[in-house]
Amino acid sequence: MKRMEDLLEKLRAQTATSEELSELKRLLTTPEGRAKARERLWMECALHSAFRATPVLAVLAKRHPPQPRAVSVAAWANSWIGKRWVPWAAAAAVMILGAMGWLPWASSREDAATLSFVAEGGAGESIAITRDGRTWHPVSQENVLVGDSIELAEESPGAQLQFDSAKTTITLQPGATFRVLSLTPQKRFALDRGTLRADVAHQRVGKPMLIQTPMAEARVLGTVFTLAAESDQTGLTVERGSVRLSQGDGSMETIKAGQAAVASLGAPVRLATSKAGVMPAQLRQTMKWIKGPVAWDSAQQLNFDFKEDRKLWILLPGSTWESDGLQLGWSEKKPGATYLAVSPYFTVRPGERLTLSGRARVQNGAELRFNYYKLDGEARSFGHATVKAAQFGAADAEGLSPFEIPFQTVAAAELHSIALILYCHHADGTPPQVGDAVLLHDLTLSRP
Amino acid sequence: MMPDSLNTIASRFLDERHRLLAYILAGVRDPHTAEDIFQEVWMRLATAVESGAAIQHEAAWCRATARNLLLHHWRRESRDKVEVNSDLLDVLDSLESALEENADTGDLWAARQQALTGCLVALPEKSRRMLALKYEAGLPLEEVARSCGQSLSAITKTLYRLRRALMDCVQNRLGLGEEIS
């Protein structure tokens, strides 16, 4: 059994030699060998499914760590899911407490702390470090470990992280929330919100520094750059070297010195025509507009108006996710494909049947289709699934036509966060032009 | 609206998903890559069905597609350093037939999965955390070892023993014989 395990592991790691492949092939000719291989693969698949099926709130806790202020887990959960779910929230809080102990962001540790934290000029309570659910305010300098979350209030003086023997520094601006996901062999961080400026020493070949934001990921080998993140937009300006910026829709750009780029909801990563478009202050201002009508920019690439904060929805059995008054224009991802993405966070099981419905007004008549995409907890992975098309009913007095799109999730494991990507085409099959508009009302995702 | 034929195929695909995923996991360690390959298989199947292609044996078609995607993944990841020789293809074929030999019903899979969940809960916190680092975070073994403060060989052995113990636990809970598969 042990030998079979070793050989299968080498096969999976793509490191098996010709001799080892021959040996594995020979072992698999016997019934015992095949049974052992089957057993090992079943366990791999089962463990994969078991750990992908962690309770939804535990996963959400990973994506959105509790605020480092003194807020109880139950209160935090309840604030998200509404008072009518109090009993459920209490149970979920218990699940969180049980699950957080083995969530890597909360508990993984490096033996050697190679990161130092310096609060400039004394920060009072404006800088908070959270570790294993415990929060404190550093006086001056603090070792920061893998799994730590650092939050800087707007009134904080900023802070600096140093590592690689001080050859690499990351300066966190006031208002930033930053997490340390890994230090070795590869540095991985998450910038949940706010702005940082990084001066990165050359990283090991094949081990670029990765900084994830809610919308994108920056891969860095050695450079100086500024990264700004909000929930729906990431801005990047590069001063020296180059940074590859990618986002979940598969789009990516390599940004060179002197260039700037933006990754935003519903649009691929794109080079900015001017740096002003992605400067942090302006980015923050743009994000504040999300709760009201938005005129994205002069290019009219995307216009939308969310009447509710698009932070989180938890879709419990029998409940619905609703968004009314969604107005969107179209930007071109590639010829013939125009889309808008919304990403409610909830768990769906493989094979589960859901319905997306609403009322729409589409210029010149159109077919509305959508894909749902898996958004992994660390936004590393991006898979797509099934495609549906809606038939519109007769328009009501407001000129809005109802539509209903039932669909079934086809996935390997539970999906904890999905993005709904809505596509629209004119009835003759041609894509809408930039500037065309669709008005969506009562967009609802329901689970029977 | 999904056509009835696609609905039917989607149901069958979902019923078979564990075996297909197990097959894919034989070829890749990263769980997210495995899920992406799985999704790609489904997308190709759905596209083929929608375009009217006649597929005689969907499960075999899916495994053949998965095999091609695995080979493509290996070539891309290894920059052609992996030699796709006859032994490698034979191994994949053997694993496919090994999984095919013992057709698992959805009910039995669910029972095993439930038993495994119970066994995981009963594990010490340290062991659960180790498994979570590997299977939930998808960290490579080297990083799991570093996080747990153990050597690579020690963590490899520990994970082996853990999986063995879980296998025994599942067998006990289900009252199965020696071989679970």
Most confident of the following: A309-323, A432-446, B53-67: B53-67
Question: What residues of chain B lie within 8 A of the CB of A182, using their CB?
Answer: 139, 143
Give the residue from chain B lying closest to A387, CA to CA.
Answer: B2
pLDDT at A85: 30
Residues 6+ apart with CB under 8 A from B129: A101, A102, A107, A108, B148
Interval A139-194: pLDDT, tens: 666 777 778 889 888 777 778 787 766 678 888 877 888 988 888 777 888 888 88
Query: What CA–CA distance (Å, rounded) separates A122 from A151?
Result: 15
Interval A276-324: pLDDT, tens: 333 333 233 222 222 222 222 222 223 333 322 222 222 333 333 343 3
Amino acid at A263: A
Query: What CA–CA distance (Å, rounded) separates B1 from A390?
Result: 7
Structure tokens at B26: 């034989």
pLDDT at A109: 31
In this complex, which of B10, B131, B139 lies closest to A410 when CB atoms are compared?
A: B10
The alpha-carbon gap from A29 to the nearest alpha carbon of chain B, in Å, equals: 8
Residues 6+ apart with CB under 8 A from B47: none
The residue among A23, A41, A356 with the most chain B CBs within 10 A of its CB, best to mutate, is A41
Query: What CA–CA distance (Å, rounded) separates A6 from A16?
Result: 10
Of the candidates A266, A278, A265, A164, the residue with the CA atom closest to the CA atom of residue A221? A164
Three-class SS of chain B:
CCCHHHHHHHHHHHHCHHHHHHHHHCCCCCHHHHHHHHHHHHHHHHHHHHCCCCCCCHHHHHHHHHHHHHHHHHHHHHCCCCCCCHHHHHHHHHHHHHHHHCCCCHHHHHHHHHHHHHHHHHCCHHHHHHHHHHHHCCCCHHHHHHHHCCCHHHHHHHHHHHHHHHHHHHHHHHCCCCCCC
Amino acid at B161: R
Residue A418 vs residue A295, higher pLDDT: A418
CB contact under 8 A, B133 and A108: yes
Question: What residues of chain A lie within 8 A of the CB of B25, using their CB?
Answer: 12, 41, 44-45, 48
The dihedral through the CA atoms of A269, A245, A192, A155 has a sign that is negative
Three-class SS of chain A:
CHHHHHHHHHHHCCCCCHHHHHHHHHHCCCHHHHHHHHHHHHHHHHHHHHHHCCCHHHHHHHHCCCCCCCCCHHHHHHHHHCHHHHHHHHHHHHHHHHHHCCCHHHHCCCCCCCEEEEECCCCCCCEEEEECCEEECCCCEEEECCCCEEEECCCCCCEEEEECCCCEEEEECCCCEEEEEECCCCCEEEEEEEEEEEEECCCCCCCCEEEECCCEEEEECCEEEEEEECCCEEEEEEEECEEEEEECCCCEEEEECCCEEEEECCEEEEECCCHHHHCHHHHHHHHHHHHCCCCCCCCCCCCCCCCCCCCCCCCCCCCEEEECCEEEECEEEECCEEEEEECCCCCECCCCEEEEEEEEEECCCEEEEEEEEEECCCCCCEEEEEEEEECCCCCCCCCCEEEEEEEECCCCCCECCEEEEEEEEECCCCCCCCCCEEEEEEEEEECC
What confidence category does residue B165 fall into, taking pLDDT thresholds of 50, 70 and 90? very high
Q: Is the pLDDT of residue A72 over 60?
A: no
Of the candidates A147, A27, A277, A114, the residue with the CA atom closest to the CA atom of residue B137? A147
Its pTM surpasses 0.80:
no
Mean pLDDT for chain B overall: 80
The alpha-carbon gap from B97 to the nearest alpha carbon of chain A, in Å, equals: 9
What confidence category does residue B154 fall into, taking pLDDT thresholds of 50, 70 and 90? very high
In this complex, which of A41, A111, A386 lies closest to B99 when CB atoms are compared?
A: A41
**Backbone angles phi and psi of B74, in degrees to 5:** -60, -45
Query: What CA–CA distance (Å, rounded) separates A65 from A2?
Result: 39
Interval A10-29: pLDDT, tens: 888 888 888 898 999 999 99
pLDDT at A390: 60
Interval A204-261: pLDDT, tens: 766 788 898 877 788 887 787 778 776 667 777 777 778 888 876 677 778 877 677 7
Using a 10 angstrom Cβ sphere, with 0-12 exposed, 13-18 middle and 19 or more buried, the burial of residue B161 is exposed
pLDDT at A232: 65
Complex ipTM value: 0.87
Query: What CA–CA distance (Å, rounded) separates A117 from A110?
Result: 16
CB contact under 8 A, B25 and A45: yes
Mean pLDDT is lowest, of A64-73, A319-328, A336-345, B83-92, for: A64-73
Interval A89-136: pLDDT, tens: 323 332 332 232 222 222 233 333 345 555 545 567 778 888 877 888
The residue among B76, B135, B136, B142 with the most chain A CBs within 10 A of its CB, best to mutate, is B136
Of the candidates A194, A300, A304, A215, the residue with the CA atom closest to the CA atom of residue A263? A215
Of the candidates A119, A99, A287, the residue with the CA atom closest to the CA atom of residue A193? A287
The alpha-carbon gap from A178 to the nearest alpha carbon of chain B, in Å, equals: 18
